[in-house]
Amino acid sequence: MRKTPAQRLRKERITAVVYSIFACIGAVFVTSLIFSAIATVIDLSDGAFTVMSSAALCAGCFAASFVAAKRRKRNGLKTGLLCGIIIFAVTLLGGIFFVRSFTVGGFFTKMLIILICSSLGGIIGVNSPQRFR
């Protein structure tokens, strides 16, 4: 039985979301692994750990929106912003649930970091050449 165009579009969207989730988790895991290896060798301050966690979050946001935009092949900025909003919502809810507090400065800083990195990932993902399919 052949799939209708609506079914194919739905499947494309679902696979793009799944691949982007795996890319985000993988990028955060790899950068956290690298930063934890650095932290075991060098004695770091609390500020350095904050920067490292923000960098890991940036890498995850960039990877997720890059993969999603590359799979969709159009609307890179829109795709990146959508990925960023979703990641920000998950991060905010996770922070409220686990930490049980948040600061206004941290809220806007994380939102700005996530949206910028996700937007860049979406733009670069759409404009990068297709090598493999």
Instruction: Indicate the residue type of 99.
Output: V
End-to-end CA distance of the chain: 24
Res. 2: pLDDT tops 90: no
pTM for this model (two decimals) = 0.86
What confidence tens digit (pLDDT) does each residue in 28-51 have? 999 999 999 999 998 888 889 889
Instruction: Indicate the residue type of 132.
Output: F
Instruction: Read off the pLDDT band of 15 (50, 70, 90).
Output: confident
Which of 53-57, 96-100, 107-111 has the lowest average pLDDT? 96-100
Q: Which of 38, 30, 78 is nearest to 57 (CA)?
A: 30
Mean pLDDT of 64-75: 90
Separation of alpha carbons 67 and 113, rounded Å? 18
Res. 58: pLDDT tops 80: yes
